[in-house]
Amino acid sequence: MNTQQYHQHREKIKSAINDSNHLSEDEKSQSVKQIDEWILEDKAEGLFYAELVKIASGIKPILEELGLN
């Protein structure tokens, strides 16, 4: 998911939270903060995975040369 999609999803969720009649203002604020944290964690996990894939693809030929695959 790209940055624009994350932003669009966040805004939809934020609107739904703010429009809720079942949450207090404090609960709404805490909910939005939690959503923001989850989005950042999700982005970080995706970046971490992408970097691991790059590293693994670079190491594989070396392991093959050493006969360790």
State pTM to two decimals. Answer: 0.60
Please write the tens of the pLDDT for every residue from 11-69.
898 899 999 999 999 999 999 899 888 888 888 888 888 888 888 888 888 878 888 86
| Domain span at 47 | 3-65
Per-residue model confidence as pLDDT tens digits over 23-37: 999 999 999 899 888
Residues 6+ apart with CB under 8 A from 10: 35, 36, 39
Whole-number Å distance between alpha carbons of 27 and 33: 10
d(CA 47, CA 29): 27
Listed residue (31, 27, 25) closest to 13, CA to CA: 31
How far apart are the C-alpha atoms of 49 and 63, rounded to whole Å? 20
Instruction: Provide the domain count of the chain.
Output: 1
